[in-house]
Amino acid sequence: MAGRARAGARGRARGAPRRRRRVGGRLQRAALPVRAGGRGLSGASRALMRSTTVNVALVGLGYWGANLLRTFGKTPGARIAALCDQEEQQLARSGEAHAGARCVTDYAKVLATAAVDAVVLATPPASHHVLALAALRAGKHVWVEKPLALTAAQGRELVEAARAGGRLLFVDETFLYDPLVGEMKRLVDRGVLGQLYHLSFERLGMGRIRRDSNVWWNSAPHDLAILLHLVPRRVVRARLHEHAHLRPGIADMAVCDLELEDGISAHLYLSWLHPEKTASVTVVGSERMLRYEGRFKKRTLTLYDYTLDTDDRHGNLVPVRQFAARPLEVPAGAEPLGLAARHFVDSIRTGTEPLSSGARSLRVVEVLEAAEHAATRHSLDA
pLDDT digits (tens, 9 = 90+) for 72-106: 999 999 999 999 999 999 999 999 989 889 999 99
Which CATH number describes the domain made up of 176-336+371-375? 3.30.360.10
In percent, the amount of the chain with pLDDT more than 70 equals 79
CATH-assigned architecture of domain 43-173+342-358: 3-Layer(aba) Sandwich (3.40)
Average pLDDT, the chain: 84
What is the distance of C-alpha 51 from the center of its chain? 28
Specify which of 127-141, 236-250, 315-329, 368-382 reaches the highest per-range mean pLDDT.
Answer: 127-141
333 in helix, strand or coil?
coil
Nearest alpha carbon to residue 101 among 80, 74, 130, 132 = 80
CA angle 199, 203, 206 (to 5 degrees): 160
User: Is the four-CA dihedral 38, 39, 41, 46 of positive or negative sign?
Assistant: positive
CB 6 within 8 A of CB 18: no
CB 10 within 8 A of CB 89: no
Nearest alpha carbon to residue 200 among 172, 158, 230 = 230
Q: What is the distance between the alpha carbons of residues 103 and 119, in angstroms, rounded to a whole number?
A: 14
Residue 381 has pLDDT above 50, yes or no: no
Residue 118 has pLDDT above 60, yes or no: yes
Paired strand residues for 239: 257
pLDDT digits (tens, 9 = 90+) for 280-297: 999 999 999 999 998 767
CA angle 98, 218, 136 (to 5 degrees): 55
Residues 6+ apart with CB under 8 A from 211: 5, 8, 247, 250
For residues 364-368, average pLDDT = 97
Residues 6+ apart with CB under 8 A from 29: 234
For residues 318-331, average pLDDT = 70
Q: What is the distance between the alpha carbons of residues 34 and 39, in angstroms, rounded to a whole number?
A: 11
**Helix or strand run (H / E) with residue 245:** none
The larger pLDDT score, comparing residue 333 to residue 206, is at 206
| Residue intervals in the chain for CATH 3.30.360.10 | 176-336+371-375
Q: What is the distance between the alpha carbons of residues 330 and 373, in angstroms, rounded to a whole number?
A: 38
Q: What is the distance between the alpha carbons of residues 64 and 47, in angstroms, rounded to a whole number?
A: 31
Q: What is the distance between the alpha carbons of residues 73 and 241, in angstroms, rounded to a whole number?
A: 40
Residues 6+ apart with CB under 8 A from 190: none
| Residue intervals in the chain for CATH 3.40.50.720 | 43-173+342-358
Segments of 193-287 assigned E as strands: 196-206, 235-243, 253-260, 265-271, 273-285
Residue 165 has pLDDT above 90, yes or no: yes
Nearest alpha carbon to residue 306 among 292, 318, 314 = 318
268 in helix, strand or coil?
strand
CA angle 98, 341, 71 (to 5 degrees): 40
pLDDT at 110: 98
Residues 6+ apart with CB under 8 A from 19: 151, 153, 154
**How is the chain split among helix, strand and coil, in percent rounded to 5?**
35, 30, 40
Cβ atoms within 10 Å, residue 254: 27
- What residue type is assigned to position 115 of the chain? A
